[in-house]
């Protein structure tokens, strides 16, 4: 078999292969020593990849997978390291191996295109017998990352306080960090404004209403509610970086007197509001605190009010099977996160509140497109960060954005806008 001659990673991507600094990435540079587990991982990897429409190329030119010549290519640079990382923890090791350059994409292969076939078969890649044993072998989320009042601020800070400048490099002018809603001809900013209007419409936000927002972001939705709808907004965040920039942006938009940006946990909110909005914040609540979150919505919503909720979702059986798992995303991107299912939202509403879902809009493919734009802008503007983050971080965020894009592209993940309300005829 002819050996494939690959150009160096630097020549193909323009970026250096990362060498993780031990001070910033403890334990990452050196792969774990788990020879037995590594052998098992290699056997399982070969079995899982064999039917996929991809080409996995080893250093000696051997090719694994069912993909043709135009299929996306995964290049194993250091196979032994890849299998050692998979053997130590498959849900974390795959992403870590990409972060360290132990595997990469082949020339002309987009990372999301490669990850999509894996995502489309996520539930069947592991043998059913092994899936039944996952509770024995898988790591669970550590107690210090559960979203208690004490831990939530630390979890949020680890992601959202990285720096406002980082997010400015890949978000649009509205600084909105959630799925857009695209119509033909839209750029990303148009899609984000349409998404915000959709949430405000579901909550029936209008002039002179007092609106509560749980999860401020950088203020875009609160500013739009104030400027375009004439509402007064109290918005809650646990990120000091977000609070500072959201306040500044509200002042610059001329609505600082209408937007109160508070560094406050939703569990500490008091009063009643004419409407409540919350966009992609429920993913940071945690299963144990879902009843608390939904009770807060019910308690804080005035009679006759509506809630506009946007939530990333997954199928209920997948959510139930993985709700305690500790994955690469938890370790490196969103500590304490858990994606709900529509059924889990409905069940928690029924058990803990008088609210129910009365309207629903699904935007899954729109999120895949949103993430593709973010990743393109992140990589294109990387040099503007002027060395604030290292190349291991770059590959980590590239993998994160592509990994999520692939999940939405194949329907493993979804995102829904939900209108919540009380039954006005209850007890009639």
Q: Active-site residue numbers? A: 404
Cβ-contact 54, 106 below 8 angstroms? no
**Burial of residue 68 (number of CB atoms within 10 Å: 0-12, 13-18, 19+):** exposed
Within a 13 Å sphere around the CA of 73, how many CA atoms are in the beta-carbon half? Answer: 19
Cα dihedral sign for 124, 128, 130, 135?
A: positive
Rg (CA), the chain: 23
Closest listed residue to residue 162, CA positions, set 239, 254, 68, 64: 239
Nearest to 342 by CA among 372, 379, 310, 371: 310
Q: Which residues pair with 275 in a beta bridge?
A: 211, 306
DSSP string of 135-163, one letter each residue: HHHS-B--GGGS--HHHHHHHHHHHHTS-
**DSSP-derived 3-state class of residue 64:** strand
Which residues fall within 8 angstroms of residue 30, CB to CB, at 6 or more apart?
none
> Which one, of 64, 221, 237, lies nearest residue 153 by Cα?
237
Q: For residues 218 and 246, is the Cβ–Cβ distance under 8 A?
A: yes
Residue 283 to residues 157, 279, 339: CA-CA distances in angstroms? 15, 10, 5
Q: How far apart are CA 342 and CA 201, in angstroms?
A: 20
Quote the CA–CA distance of 72 and 63 in Å, as a whole number: 12
């Amino acid at each position: 078999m002819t050996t494939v001659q690959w150009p160096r990673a630097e020549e193909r991507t323009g970026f250096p292969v990362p060498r993780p600094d031990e001070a910033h990435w403890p334990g990452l540079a050196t792969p774990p020593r788990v020879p037995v587990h590594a052998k098992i991982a290699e056997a399982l990897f070969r079995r899982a990849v064999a039917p996929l429409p991809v080409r996995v190329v080893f250093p000696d030119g051997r090719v694994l997978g069912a993909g043709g010549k135009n299929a996306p290519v995964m290049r194993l640079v250091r196979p032994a390291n890849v299998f050692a990382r998979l053997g130590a923890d498959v849900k974390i090791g795959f992403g870590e191996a990409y972060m360290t350059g132990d595997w990469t994409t082949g020339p002309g292969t987009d990372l999301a295109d490669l990850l999509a076939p894996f995502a489309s078969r996520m539930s069947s890649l592991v043998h059913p017998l092994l899936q039944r044993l996952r509770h024995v072998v898988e790591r669970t989320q550590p107690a210090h990352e559960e979203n208690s009042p004490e831990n939530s601020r630390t979890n949020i800070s680890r992601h959202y306080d990285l720096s406002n400048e980082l997010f400015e490099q890949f978000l649009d002018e509205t600084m909105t960090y959630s799925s857009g809603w695209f119509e033909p001809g839209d750029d990303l900013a148009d899609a984000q404004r349409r998404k915000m209007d959709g949430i405000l419409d579901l909550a029936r936000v209008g002039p002179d209403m007092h609106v509560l927002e749980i999860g401020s972001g950088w203020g875009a939705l609160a500013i739009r509610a104030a400027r375009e709808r004439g509402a007064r907004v109290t918005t809650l965040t646990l990120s000091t970086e977000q609070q500072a920039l959201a306040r500044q942006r509200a002042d610059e938009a001329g609505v600082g007197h209408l937007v109160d940006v508070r560094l406050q946990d939703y569990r500490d909110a008091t009063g009643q509001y004419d409407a409540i909005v919350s966009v992609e914040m429920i993913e940071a609540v945690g299963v144990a605190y879902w009843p608390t979150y939904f009770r807060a919505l019910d308690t804080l919503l005035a009679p006759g009010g509506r809630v506009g909720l946007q939530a990333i979702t997954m199928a209920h059986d997948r959510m139930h099977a993985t709700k305690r798992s500790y994955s690469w995303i938890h370790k490196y991107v969103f500590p304490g996160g858990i994606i709900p299912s529509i059924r889990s939202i409905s069940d928690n509403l029924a058990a803990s509140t008088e609210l129910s879902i009365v309207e629903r809009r699904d935007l899954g493919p729109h999120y895949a497109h949103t993430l593709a734009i973010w990743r393109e802008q992140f990589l294109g503007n990387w040099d503007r960060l002027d060395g604030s983050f290292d190349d291991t971080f770059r590959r980590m965020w590239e993998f994160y954005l592509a990994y999520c894009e692939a999940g939405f592209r194949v329907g493993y993940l979804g995102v829904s806008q939900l209108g919540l309300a009380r039954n006005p005829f209850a007890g009639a």
